[in-house]
Amino acid sequence: MPLLAFLQGEEKSNPYLSSQILLGRLTLYETRTKSIIAIALSDRYLIRHSSEHFWRIAEHLKKMDIVLVGDGDRPGFLEFCHSTHLDPEHQPVGTPALELWRAWRRSSRQRSRMEFSIMKNKKWNNVVEITFNEGNLYLETDEDISIVGSEEVMVWSQPT
């Protein structure tokens, strides 16, 4: 499936996806369900995180140096933007929350634990502690404590 052609507005439809450009905004739909799965704006992309195409789209955006930065301003969507718009001290990673916990555990086995941060409300929060219990991560940051499902998409980083 030529996702890149859709994301760049070069292809309009196939049996799985269709796109429409209206007022300079590209919208990508699942052909079968007619649901919106992606919106391309001038400086960012919004991708529905429940779409079966989410990870493939994210991978194609990454090849274009466009990375996940957190929740979008539209419910159910995550926001991606060009990496040059980001804090150079953090290289964001978008994965299921369980991957963050695994990286945290690997780091805790070292003598000096690496610092981790998570993106919350469009800003970086330093992680103080992560515990895993019954399919949920309990994330303590320097600002609050939150509970996240292990399959929820998280934006996190280790300082570069």
pTM above 0.95, yes or no: no
The answer, yes or no, to whether residue 103 has pLDDT greater than 50, is: yes
The answer, yes or no, to whether residue 147 has pLDDT greater than 60, is: yes
- The residues, any chain, with a CB within 8 Å of residue 111's CB and separated by 6 or more, are none
* pLDDT digit string, tens, across residues 18-33: 888 887 788 888 888 8
* pLDDT digit string, tens, across residues 65-97: 888 888 888 888 988 888 766 677 777 888 899
- The residues, any chain, with a CB within 8 Å of residue 76's CB and separated by 6 or more, are 48, 49, 50
Q: Are 154 and 96 in contact (CB under 8 A)?
A: yes
Residue appearing with tokens 């159910």: 76
Sign of the CA dihedral running 45, 142, 91, 59: negative
